[in-house]
Amino acid sequence: MTRLLPNPDLDGRYRKAEKFLAALDPDWQALIAHVGPCVHQPRPERDPYEALIRSVVYQQLHTRAAERILQRLLDLYPHGHCPDPEEVLATPYETLRACGLSGAKATSIMGLAQARLDGLIPDQARAVQMSEKELIERLTTLRGIGRWTVEMMMMYTLEREDILPADDFGVREGYRNLKRLDKAPSPRALREIAQAWAPYRSVASWYLWRMPKRAAATAFSQSDEHVYIPADKPAITRRRSGPSGPIHFGITACSLGMLLVARSERGICAISLGDDAAVMLQQLQNQFKAATLIQAEVQLQQELAYLQTLVDEPDQEMNLPLDIQGTAFQQQVWTLLREIPLGQTMSYTDIAVRLGMPNGARAVAQACASNLLAVAIPCHRVLRQSGSLAGYRWGLERKKILLERERRQASQHRQA
């Protein structure tokens, strides 16, 4: 399931948290000024069972690899979303393994399904009523579920504002760099320190994940521009080095969740859709490792507004300058994508044939997956040969919605 609109109440709560934390000391004040407003995006539409299933899939994997395995798991079921416990238990173990799950993960997922049926995993309504201690004590008895996983579930699924994942390496390293310590505090010591951050420890953790490394920490509070330097989190992928100069980015809400636009000196170099602005920023930094990211919503206000409209009204002409980077083959594919008329689709095989390589459907699919410019380069208009939806960098639900909007607008034009 995709959450299409952010909770409007969150901004007010986050602004209170930012003011509270900034008042703690000059270090916190500098960090919050450097990172900017908190854009943490919970996912309350996922109940604890689904959140735990997803967490098991993602454990010890880079994000893109985990996303592929998760999509294979979801594709096992006709509805295409998280399977019910009964569906999981009716799925052969080897079928789960064939999705790319390890034996331990397949066993854990089956165990979670049984635990939900047994009432050990509460539904959303019940979980909201349970204390942090109750949830940790109950859920950490399940195979493959540790304290950190439960804390992430409480932060993201239950929208708890005062959760501190003290075992998290990024949080402890963030605090070490914030205070310029030689050694990160132990989880137990950090829990004591963090008492002063209550009742906003979730937001405090969000900021510590974004604390610059020590090399940058001495200068970040003196910067005149709002430069985003991510915490040392696992890379998602690196398909190209991209621009080495500054990249200005802006993020806003749109009807498909969050919209990120990034511009290099030559034009728009990235357009992405997502649910969590922090994750989207991390992906942008991973894609352009040599670049410095500069937050610039005001400077990109016109581009953001234009793309918000384009998402809703795809018959608008694309008139933004694009900085399109890729191999010669990728650019050939992307050029063909931009020639697909509104309301129409092509298959990967169709495009491969057009390029004179009838056996190159897989290479075409890889080129589509490498596209960094959502909507501007309409890779959502490419389907399997059967006509069914295939993978989409920004989520199959968004792909489906974009295609439906385009078909509707194309139909309206024909009737006019």
The predicted-structure confidence for 134-192, as pLDDT tens digits, reads as follows: 999 999 999 888 888 899 889 888 888 899 999 888 888 889 989 988 888 999 999 99
Length of the chain: 416
Phi (first) and psi of residue 293, to 5 degrees = -95, 130
Q: Residue 326: name the closest of 262, 269, 264 by CA.
A: 269
pLDDT of 11 reads 58
Q: Residue 149: name the closest of 159, 139, 134, 158 by CA.
A: 139
The whole-model pTM stands at 0.50
The predicted-structure confidence for 8-66, as pLDDT tens digits, reads as follows: 455 577 888 999 999 988 889 888 888 788 877 777 767 899 989 988 888 766 667 78
**Tokens read off for 185:** 């505090």
CA–CA separation, 332 vs 344, rounded Å?
19
Domains, the chain, in order of start with CATH, read 11-32+162-220 (1.10.1670.40), 48-156 (1.10.340.30), 246-312 (3.30.160.70), 328-415 (1.10.10.10)
Q: Is the pLDDT of residue 193 over 90?
A: yes
Higher pLDDT, 55 or 114: 114
SS3 402: helix
DSSP state of 377: S
What percent of the chain is modeled with pLDDT above 70? 88
Q: Is the pLDDT of residue 249 over 70?
A: yes
Residues forming the active site: 168
Give every CB contact of residue 140 below 8 A, 6+ residues apart in sequence: 146, 147, 150
Higher pLDDT, 127 or 245: 127
Q: Is the pLDDT of residue 104 over 90?
A: no
Question: Worst-scoring range by mean pLDDT, 44-48, 307-311, 376-380?
Answer: 44-48
Higher pLDDT, 102 or 216: 102
Q: Residue 185: name the closest of 158, 166, 207 by CA.
A: 166
